[in-house]
Amino acid sequence: MPITIKDVKTILIQPLESDYQPTTHIIVKVITSEPGLYGIGCATFTQRFHAVKTAIDEHLTPLVIGRDVSRIEDIFQMSMVNSYWRNGPVLNNAISGIDQALWDIKGKMAGMPVYDLLGGKCREAAACYSHAGGDTKEACLESVQEKMAAGYSHVRVQMGGYGGKAEVLKKTENAQDGAYYNPKEYMRRHVEMFHYLRENLGFEVELLHDIHERLSPIDTINYAKDLEDVKLFFLEDALAPEDIAWFRQLRNQCATPLSMGELFNNPLEWRTLVQERLIDFMRMHVSQMGGISPARHAVSFAQAYNVRTAWHGPPDTSAVGHAANLHLDLWAPNFGIQEWCEFPELIYEMFPGLPEVRDGYMYANDKPGLGIDINEELAAKYPAEKNYEIKWTQTRLPDGSLARP
């Protein structure tokens, strides 16, 4: 008799507070007909967590109960097309939670880590980058030096947060509330800051930077060219998904390495960029794209074009999501780098088996499946009870018009 899905449990938690909003994580627990056998996955879409929970509880759970847990690919494909309309962030994250949990179960049944199921390790650990920043170039330098002292050889740097904190911001009368920034000032100050870092640090440390799609396409091209001599490891999310056709002009005019993808849902969004070699790193959010199943297909596709991985790994990817990222990293022949958010000790207590980072490298344990579990008793102390207004994505230009976040 096959082992089947007996139930699906959705766990919402708010264990972290950030400067701009609580961070809600969505953990999916798939319970099987085999006593004691279950798997966990990440379905985290922190800005629309209620919608994801509803999609799991009211639509996907009735669809998958009673199905053979070993048929991961079939369940993924069916979940993707069963709603007819597909490749949206709510449904993709919901599918991801179940998909990752099924891979966790498969590994436990086989007595193997997920990276072995995928084909085995290509490396012993995954190189990570951490985040540095400050409100001045001097503070940014000190922050990068702290990360280097902690063992990181790759550091992403933002001065004043995404878009920077403008020193001169001339608003209109009756300006609406929002996260205002000045694109031109952001460009000027960051070019100055990165040259200052290179003057003081040299080129031994790899520096990264995230535009976060906040510039117009032509400004992005000029900005990337101005940063060419800084020799960034990569420039992240230079353009919004709606502007990906501009990558051809950007690539033709600039040699700065490019990474893209954390907002992508549909394979057609990354396929052209990879096929035409318009980016150097793909960095999709693994739960946003639907889980481990589509991620492994994307890895194999990108390998043929020498495009590397750099999966999205912010604090609003859960600990389970970071574990899934790592298993893909250890296996993928075209792995590039892994973003790491440096979780506090609370998250390690809540998620036993969470990967550890030592001297800039992330290491997995050798436990079967994803190698991570959830302490539900501790997690229950941090329920997702807060409904909050998301302010950082209410981004505005000086004249008050809305901008991409």
Is 159:186 a contact under the CB 8 Å cutoff? no
User: How many other C-beta atoms lie within 10 A of the C-beta of residue 389?
Assistant: 7
Which region, left, alpha or beta, applies to residue 360 given φ > 0 means left and ψ of -120 to 50 means alpha?
Answer: left
Give CA–CA dist 114/120, Å, rounded. Answer: 8
- Of the candidates 162, 180, 181, 186, the residue annotated as catalytic is 162
Residue 20 is among the residues annotated as catalytic for this protein: no
For residues 85 and 83, give the distance between their C-alpha atoms in angstroms, rounded to a whole number.
5
Q: CA-CA distance, 196 to 38, in Å (whole number)?
A: 51
Lookup result for tokens 């085995």? 120
Q: What angle do CA 123, 124, 129 make, to 5 degrees?
A: 85
> Which one from 131, 190, 209, 212 is the annotated catalytic residue?
212
Q: Calculate the CA dihedral of residues 314, 41, 48, 398 and round it to 10 degrees.
A: 10
Distance between CA atoms of residues 288 and 43, nearest Å: 8
The reply to whether 196 belongs to the active site is: no
Would you name the residues annotated as active-site residues?
162, 212
